[in-house]
Structure 1
């Protein structure tokens, strides 16, 4: 479409609402590209939908209303979203890790992708509250052993993995007092932190109250905090905020983040890494 005026306003708003519900939130800049209409048109549509109670406007975009702030999709559902972006982010994030480091990974599908990339980094100590992340390292060790003993595959430099206890969330993260106590007793060189949403006002947020507290313990125990989040997380807010943007050292996101949002985040954060798409080099903005 050229300028998508041949879409009736009602059809356009139905498409917007469908995208907001499907993705859990969307930016104005993404909608202008998708619908090929002006920024002003999109904002008018969001105003109408917000007055109707169909969605909630947030800084730079919109999110679903009401219970969506507390809704936490399961791991499998989230795994199917933004898969290319997560792989790009994981590759760029793994490049920040020094062999022999103590690295923490929170729960989430993006940190799960990062874990796969860390299999080739020697002599890591990995602390995680994610059952899925722990399984990545345990499965790699088992497969390497079956392929030829201690010297084969990843087994030669297999990570030491510490899995916290705790209560399991829909995202297969372990949270609560047991997890908090374990994390609080440790110190890591680097934390890879997945999030439900990021905004200027709310900072980092999650729908799960207990997970928010566990993430606070992760942040307090880390020398460097690296948030790994695809572009759809920017502008989304969960029920519980657990950190402000000034507690983040580095954000690794993907090339789907619009230029205007990159400029805003570059002003707010010490380091922003835009992960390339394989052929494109990663962009580090200090």
Structure 2
């Protein structure tokens, strides 16, 4: 396959899935990682996609754009891993917790499969799948049901109703963006309703948001910044944002993204 043909095929993949990984493309096309990176650089230089660590995603438009789960999974992978590790340390055996949809919460799920007697409520298909695959008989996993979004979240009245009667110890909330004006936001109106229901059901709210989420505003607000009991982010956050969040959020936890 010529480079031009391969790049056209890669672009089709990115547009269809929302994101791709270098390792997967190298294996599929039988070329080196370096060759794929050059292909991605060429496409990025022409404004056809956005390069991220470990892969590429579609060029992101406005506040109502919702990337797919695959697209988000290749972004800030080191930061998400560090945040998930810190969040997992907050969970104890026997807790009843909720994990919202998102790639960071899916990363957190991987670190919770060995916690005994855990009850997990989620509207995320990938999060539920992590626990179902682990198959621990002492863990209870409740998937809300609902209508599926591009990010593999379940939303709508069925999901909201499933959450309404629950009482949970903690909610680990992944967000699309956060800002002083809009608080924590999502690009999906129906997902915002589900997230609000999860917030209402939980005693404590822990938000996981890497530094790239600061200043990003989705179309729908979930809760104000100060509503989170704990905000876990990474040290890529700029000094001005750190100062503001330190004064606004009861507990700001910074992890290293390296």
TM-score (norm 2): 0.75
Structure showing greater relative contact order (alpha-carbon pairs closer than 8 Å, 6 or more residues apart): 1
- How do residues 47-66 of structure 1 correspond to structure 2 at under 5 angstroms? none
8 A contact 1:127–1:163 mirrored in 2: yes
- How do residues 1-286 of structure 1 correspond to structure 2 at under 5 angstroms? 22=50, 68-141=62-135, 155=136, 158-277=138-257
Q: CA 1:263 to 1:23, structure 2 compared with 1: closer, same or farther past 3 Å?
A: farther
8 A contact 2:236–2:257 mirrored in 1: no
**Which aligned segments of 4 or more residues in structure 1 are displaced greater than 3 angstroms?**
21-24
Give the superposed CA RMSD.
Answer: 2.1
Cα deviation, residue 123, structure 1: 1.1
Partners in 1 of 2:100 and 2:235 — Cα distance? Answer: 23
Does the residue aligned with 2:62 lie in a helix, a strand or coil? helix
Cα deviation, residue 22, structure 1: 4.0
Does the residue aligned with 1:68 lie in a helix, a strand or coil? coil
Partners in 1 of 2:118 and 2:151 — Cα distance? Answer: 24
Cα deviation, residue 179, structure 1: 0.2
Cα deviation, residue 163, structure 1: 0.5
Partners in 2 of 1:169 and 1:233 — Cα distance? Answer: 20
Structure 2 unpaired stretches of 5+:
1-43, 53-59
Cα deviation, residue 23, structure 1: 8.6
8 A contact 1:226–1:249 mirrored in 2: yes
Deviations 1:37-65 (A, max 9, x none): xxxxxxxxxxxxxxxxxxxxxxxxxxx7x
Cα deviation, residue 264, structure 1: 1.4
8 A contact 2:122–2:128 mirrored in 1: yes
Structure 1 unpaired stretches of 5+:
1-14, 25-63, 142-154, 279-286
Larger Rg: 1
Deviations 1:28-87 (A, max 9, x none): xxxxxxxxxxxxxxxxxxxxxxxxxxxxxxxxxxxx7xx511110100010000000000
